[in-house]
Amino acid sequence: MQFYPRKSPRRILDATVNGGRFWRGSKRTVVGIDIESAHKPGIVADNTRMPFADAFFDVVVYDPPHIPNQGKDKQKDFNSRFGLGVKSTKERGYAFTHTFPPFVAEAYRVLKDEGLLFAKIADYVHDHCYQWAHAELMQAGRDAGFVPCDCIIKIRKGPIIDPKWKVAHHSRRRHCYWLIFRKSEACE
């Protein structure tokens, strides 16, 4: 947020705010929306149909649910941490990638020219298939008119391992990505 904007952003939208963990200890003023009222967001709203005027925000932040439907595991608390109140269907491959195009189109609409979209996204393995969420999001961003500018790899302390997984066929994901998109012709 200090590095990419050309001037200090005034209007910031967190489009998947959940518990607002990104903003703990931050002095920034952020509008937070979430589809689940249980998270007590500033505004309960669907980020594929946002209640904001065109070209209103300087920055949009996005951290969509990224783990396919899980069983209940009270220890891990996946439901509140990863927004797994939202489920995906078998027909969708239990993935959330179908939500990327309508979201990025809305993000593009509510951003000012030269505005930035910061998206935290994780690939994962589900049903024995590698799910290329970051590649799907990058393509959705391009299709919506954004220019993808950067990809930051964020390392986590430990991979998510379900105790019922006995044999690994893919490496355990120890990282996720921050993709940075600009509503512009160019990144620089």
In the set 9, 12, 13, 16, which binds ligand SAM (CB under 6 A)? 16
Helix (H, G, I), strand (E, B) or coil at 113: strand
Q: Return the beta strands (E) in the chain as ranges.
A: 12-14, 30-34, 43-44, 57-62, 111-121, 124-126, 129-131, 147-155, 175-182
In the set 12, 13, 18, 131, which binds ligand SAM (CB under 6 A)? 18
Binding status of residue 32 toward ligand SAM by CB under 6 A: no
Nearer to ligand SAM, 24 or 128 (CB): 24
Nearer to ligand SAM, 114 or 173 (CB): 173
The answer to whether 139 touches 82, Cβ cutoff 8 Å, is no
DSSP state of 82: H
Alpha-carbon distance of 40 to 161, in angstroms, equals 29
Q: Kindly state the smallest distance separating residue 31's Cβ from ligand SAM, in Å.
A: 12
Q: Kindly state the smallest distance separating residue 58's Cβ from ligand SAM, in Å.
A: 18
In the set 9, 13, 31, 34, which binds ligand SAM (CB under 6 A)? 34
Segment (H or E) for 185: none
Q: Kindly state the smallest distance separating residue 149's Cβ from ligand SAM, in Å.
A: 21
Rounded to 5 degrees, what are φ and ψ at 142? -60, -45
Binding status of residue 106 toward ligand SAM by CB under 6 A: no
Structure tokens at 104: 């990025």
The answer to whether 116 touches 59, Cβ cutoff 8 Å, is yes
Which single residue brings its beta carbon nearest to ligand SAM? 83
Binding status of residue 46 toward ligand SAM by CB under 6 A: yes
Q: Which residues bind ligand SAM (CB under 6 A)?
A: 16, 18-22, 33-36, 39, 46-48, 63-65, 82-83, 85-86
